[in-house]
Amino acid sequence: MPSAVAPVIRSSSPTGAFGHFVLQRLLAKSELTMVWLATDTRTGAEAMLSMPRHSPAGTAAIGHWLLTARRAARLEHPNIARVAECGVHEHWPYVAVDRRAGVTLSEWLSQHPSPPIEEAVRWIAGVLRGLAFGHDAGIAHLDAELHNIVINERGHASVMAFAVAAPDGTDADLGATRKGDSRAAPLAASSSLRAQRAAAERDVVACGVILHRLLTGVAPLGGADVASIVERMAPIGREHVRLPWTTPQPVAEPLRAIANRSTSGQVRLRYRNARTFLGALTGWLEATAAEEGGPVTLLLDRLHSVGHLPALPGLATRVQRITAIESQRTDEIARHLLPDMALSFELLKTFSSARVQGTQIPGNGPVLTLRRIVALIGVDGVREAANRLRIWPGPLAEERARALRKTIDHARLAGHVAQSLRPAGYDAEAVYLVAVLQNLGRLLLRYHFADEAEQIDQLSRPEVGEEDGEGQAPEQPGLDEAAAAFAVLGVDIEALGNAAARQWGLGDEILHMIRRLPTEVPVRKPDADGELLRIVASAANETVDAFELAAPQAAHALNEVVARYARTLRLTARIVQDAVRDARTAASGDGGATSAGRADDAGASADAEAPDSDDGGAAGATEAAPAPEAPLLDRDQNG
């Protein structure tokens, strides 16, 4: 029998008696709380009694504890175990939960040491829902442990014993200042707010520790008590909790990123509240339940309601001016339409829809040039596509719209760099669009998940740490983009772009081209035109990413890009620098989205404005569909 309950056992009550309960056995304990299995002598029903390890000192402290415990007992939520009774026996307070609510997680694990990963994640998600509800009501748990999580017969998880760990209730009552004297000093209010955040964050970190325990089958750092593990973790302690690469069951990379973020040694990288942690786990669960679930399903719904991207300002005027002359060449129309990314995507979607509906398009290869699409749908189709777009900036606030515009400019610059890097003969429009579409997931993230995009930015950003003993302030690296996206959304950013492209009806060949080459995979000689365009677009995007870094990192990243693609694309640092310079010039122009890039090492360059026909004639915007030559190549170069 633990010493913490010695006053109970040494009382005048019969052995094992605790008021109108009979204590059967201690289910589990932590440094702060303990849970007993007991029998209610009045009804014969079993109950779980949660009580602090150390009794509050004095009548006033016990009264305050009871006030907070009863306030917590009023919480009603599917993921919070219902409290049957709050009471005090011989100066020892307790909270009773009907045993029919389930078994504690510590009991469950003693019989089933390795729960299925998805089931374990659902448990933590349920606990986080309950904690979030409690935090919203102003109540912290303060001792999120295995024995305070209840699993019922249906495998549903709930959390019990809110506020039991606080000896006098003050630390658990996050809403105390709201009920206090309105004339309280601002410093007291500020201190209470900090305590509120700290208590809620401790609950969230504890859930991260429990998630590690469930995924690995062992307690992190070899400690059984979650609170003590948290105290040993950086930055309070010096130890780190990360999932090992070998686990009893394989852990998917997105879930690994979520788990490691929840216990990161950098506080700024952690989940700061239960709902953000819950959002990441829910996104992962839904994505694994179906090929297109979670954030992907939400994105597809939003594509229907608000479209993919808003049109840049002045679209209607531009379209009216461009299409006013029916005899204007399709390549001229396309050259002016291409800078508007929203319209370019809408035209691709329109073409794909026509194809799905049975329109026969000459040629068997994928079509990735706007001039061919304009030739198919005519100027009336262009006007209809433009009318379907939302006006800039759609539902975004000004600050979020600036972030989206920056991402659009980044994608456009990558498109121009790709044009400059493409080998002789490859179509300028096609390589531009492939490079831009490799940013589709990032663009959709900015527009449809603006809050999540900001979180990913924060997680990816390095930060200067605290000074060490020698007065140095080492830089703390952020997460890479993929890990940050997994940690926030539970899915890869590219999964968003892939889902949208599939919804538009783009074929598998295009879907393959618009997926960037993984940076850890060597670049090999392409065996098809589409693969070469994918390589060129990936090189362009990596180049633009490198140039946006700070000076020391940019030079190193640029050298890595050159070395990575040198053999396949015959790149040199000078070629890449010239390509970026030319691309910036083209991007700053009003209609230079399809301007020709620099000649390659052989001195050849495709004419971006060359007409589709072999004789270079001025084809009308309503001309017949192009001939069946490969659309990824410039016909004038490869006729």
pLDDT in tens, 438-468: 999 999 999 999 999 999 998 888 876 655 5
The answer to whether residue 567 scores a pLDDT higher than 60 is yes
Q: Is 514 helix (H, G, I), strand (E, B) or coil?
A: coil
Helix 398-421, helix 529-547: angle, nearest 10: 130
The rounded distance, in Å, linking the Cα atoms of 72 and 143 is 14
Of 328 and 413, more confident: 413
Q: How confident is the model at residue 358 (pLDDT cuts 50, 70, 90)?
A: very low
Residue 315: its pLDDT value, please?
A: 81
Q: What is the arrangement of strands in the sheet containing 83-89, beginning at the earlier edge strand? A: 17-18, 21-29, 33-40, 46-52, 92-98, 83-89
Q: Which residues fall within 8 angstroms of residue 108, CB to CB, at 6 or more apart?
A: 115, 151
The tokens describing 131, both together, are: 């904690």
User: Which amino acid belongs to residue 87?
Assistant: G
The answer to whether residue 602 scores a pLDDT higher than 60 is no
The answer to whether residue 402 scores a pLDDT higher than 70 is yes
Residue 179: its pLDDT value, please?
A: 38
Locus of tokens 């879930």: 255
User: Which amino acid belongs to residue 451?
Assistant: D
Q: How confident is the model at residue 114 (pLDDT cuts 50, 70, 90)?
A: confident
Of 175 and 610, more confident: 175
Residue 144: its pLDDT value, please?
A: 95
User: Which amino acid belongs to residue 423?
Assistant: P
Residue 181: its pLDDT value, please?
A: 41
> What percent of the chain has pLDDT above 90?
50
Residue 489: its pLDDT value, please?
A: 87
The tokens describing 511, both together, are: 């879907």
β-strand partners of 464: 475
Q: Which residues fall within 8 angstroms of residue 182, CB to CB, at 6 or more apart?
A: none
The answer to whether residue 9 scores a pLDDT higher than 60 is no
The answer to whether residue 630 scores a pLDDT higher than 50 is no
The answer to whether residue 637 scores a pLDDT higher than 60 is no
Q: How confident is the model at residue 333 (pLDDT cuts 50, 70, 90)?
A: confident
Segment 18-65, tens digit of pLDDT: 999 999 999 999 999 999 999 999 999 999 999 999 888 888 999 999
Residue 449: its pLDDT value, please?
A: 93
Over range 475-491, report the average pLDDT.
85
Locus of tokens 């949660």: 50
Over range 76-91, report the average pLDDT.
94
The answer to whether residue 221 scores a pLDDT higher than 70 is yes
Residue 175: its pLDDT value, please?
A: 46
Over range 124-128, report the average pLDDT.
97
The tokens describing 545, both together, are: 């990413």
344-345-349-350 Cα dihedral, nearest 10 degrees: -30
Residue 134: its pLDDT value, please?
A: 95
Nearest to 450 by CA among 382, 415, 509, 401: 401
Q: Which residues fall within 8 angstroms of residue 635, CB to CB, at 6 or more apart?
A: 610, 612, 614, 627, 629
Residue 470: its pLDDT value, please?
A: 56
Residue 473: its pLDDT value, please?
A: 53
The answer to whether residue 185 scores a pLDDT higher than 80 is no
Segment 186-210, tens digit of pLDDT: 445 556 777 878 899 999 999 999 9
Of 128 and 362, more confident: 128
Q: How confident is the model at residue 588 (pLDDT cuts 50, 70, 90)?
A: confident
Residue 168: its pLDDT value, please?
A: 56
Locus of tokens 């409690």: 134
Over range 561-588, report the average pLDDT.
92
The radius of gyration of the chain's CA atoms, rounded to the nearest angstrom, is: 31
Residues found in the chain: 639
Q: Is 593 helix (H, G, I), strand (E, B) or coil?
A: coil
Question: Does a cis peptide bond (omega within 30 degrees of 0) precede residue 393?
Answer: yes
- DSSP result, 89-126: ETTEEEEEEEGGG-EEHHHHHHH-SS--HHHHHHHHHH
The tokens describing 270, both together, are: 């952690």
Over range 214-233, report the average pLDDT.
92
Residue 522: its pLDDT value, please?
A: 87
The structural domains of the chain, ordered by start, are 3-178+189-289 (1.10.510.10), 315-462+477-638 (1.10.3210.10)
Find out whether 126 and 282 touch, Cβ atoms under 8 Å. no
Q: How confident is the model at residue 354 (pLDDT cuts 50, 70, 90)?
A: low
User: Which amino acid belongs to residue 431?
Assistant: V
Segment 362-394, tens digit of pLDDT: 444 577 888 888 888 888 888 888 888 999 998
Locus of tokens 């006098």: 168
In degrees rounded to 5, what are phi and psi of residue 47?
-140, 160
Q: How far is CA 17 from CA 23, 39, 155, in A?
A: 6, 10, 32
> What percent of the chain has pLDDT above 70?
81
In whole numbers, what is the pLDDT of the chain averaged over residues? 82
Extract long-range pairs of 39-44: CB within 8 Å, 24+ residues apart: 40/96
Within 397-479, residue ranges assigned H as helices are: 398-421, 428-437, 440-448, 450-460
